[in-house]
Structure 1
């Protein structure tokens, strides 16, 4: 096996063996992407910690056990796609590949005096569009930054950063044309059929829809500023639209509007928050509008009005008054009880 077949070789072989089943057509429509990821942490020349992950959209297909370099399946519909013997072949190829990959990277690090520890990352995959055309991609990262990318049109490696190390790796990879041909064949020629097979087996998982749950509340960090918070959670798939309406009109992006990134939940759904800064009692009405595939043509509309603060303050005051009353009553009862006990003691003494 030649050194040129670095991090992407694992991904390409996995894609070939895992996905390549003929005669399967999916009836899902849309754009779908498969990504194969690898992260290798080089602690020193003798110890490398490697993790691998395969994704169809945001669905985790499986991962690589970093201790045994074996495949762990996350979806029940992935493993039945191939016989046990084929999975054994894939795992053997993974082990051979990782040994070659670690040797190649360590060799380059020593030649270029790269300080340990460092992280090498690889991502390869393809995106299939509704008209059955596809776009392939391959990237290499170093310490969390873009390092190299593969141009599928002319089978060349492009520098994402111009350093002595990136030039060295580019030259090593570019010298092995067999690898470029392998990338082009697997990703450009078989990508559509491969993803269609996965869409067929994973149809139920990809079509899963969980409606969002939205709540609106307020915070007042300063007397002259009110923060309206719209928390949306529990939705799947990931794409969602969250907007604030002022008197029925959508609030445009600006310094007063701050929406978080979409974050994952532990139950494989998503969440986000959208915060709008307004002046207290400005006379406007506000509402948070949520649109999501699971809602169809409907939208969630959760209103907020400035006078909604008053009941909250009133409830707080009522609770404080109740506590004060209960405390006063307790003191009175305790004094009365003590008085009665003293009376009984005097009567017993007289008797």
Structure 2
């Protein structure tokens, strides 16, 4: 049995997506290629693939036709057009062999169906043109194998009969190791630059964060201050709470969510600070983001309880004032009617006498 080439699709996609001319990138950029294959049984497999430059989706693999669909208009001009048909055919041949070999190995090791095989490979390019390459294999949503780029060996993430078997198979497949070495250590740095050349405008897109601060009271003895920051791009951001102008250090009272994507290709997160009600301190949420430059976004928390009380007081005073005015008007109206009735009676009595 030939060894399963579990990440060859990723390497082919990497070559496909990063071949071309040179540019001069600045900063740190990561190319990631993802593959997910769901083995329902020995005859039915669904495979999907996705290519990413940072968090920008470059293209995906159609699970029905195994064709690559591009999501960014600037990706296709970076491709070697003369090699396009050849690479497409190589991917289809690989997927056919991949499904056959994985199924054969699963039957030999009595792996129960259905199961999911996942691969992630790519490289990070630093500003000094050094790089760090990586490759991982997952099985049923758990870490399974990782590739050591220093000595070109596969390391099991969990010590099982299946992981040792797959590791040994991959080690015996020397062509795969050579391909990894060439693509990641020789090709990745030079050829990733073409994507940066074509996609720099997308990578440099900046959207300002919008922050709101509000409070929740899970119990009378606790007040949760919530800072919701949304609409920002790129992803890196710094959110902190200030107490009387001083940053609140990490601790059990402070929790920040993961950065989550929005539907409009921006991001959001929440930072929550637990405080005692009416503790006498002032609080503000501070946001640092690339789109703000050297400035920061500072959103103070207004004591909503005091504002509410003040609002109720003002409303109560207004109601009392209106009641007093109404009573005065009624009293004056009655007084006037009584005076008119008295004058009317006096006039009648005068005529009678």
Q: Normalising to structure 2: TM-score of the pair? A: 0.86
Contact 1:3–1:101 (CA under 8 A) maintained in structure 2: no
Residue-by-residue CA offset, 1:52-106 (whole Å, 9 max, x unaligned): 0000011100001111111110000001223655333222222111111111111
Shift in Å at residue 198 of structure 1?
Answer: 0.7
Residue-by-residue CA offset, 1:13-41 (whole Å, 9 max, x unaligned): 2222332213x213x31111101100111
1:151 aligns with 2:148: yes
Unaligned runs of 5+ in 2: 323-353
Matches within 5 A, 1:1-351: 3-4=2-3, 6-22=5-21, 24-26=22-24, 28-82=25-79, 86-306=83-303, 308-312=304-308
SS of the counterpart of 1:194? helix
Alpha-carbon distance between aligned partners in 1 of 2:56 and 2:62, rounded to the nearest angstrom: 18
Aligned CA RMSD, in angstroms, stands at 2.0
Contact 1:234–1:270 (CA under 8 A) maintained in structure 2: yes
How many aligned residue pairs are there? 318
Alpha-carbon distance between aligned partners in 1 of 2:248 and 2:2, rounded to the nearest angstrom: 55
Shift in Å at residue 313 of structure 1?
Answer: 5.3
Alpha-carbon distance between aligned partners in 1 of 2:302 and 2:311, rounded to the nearest angstrom: 17
Unaligned runs of 5+ in 1: 326-351
SS of the counterpart of 1:237? coil
Larger Rg computed on CA atoms: 2
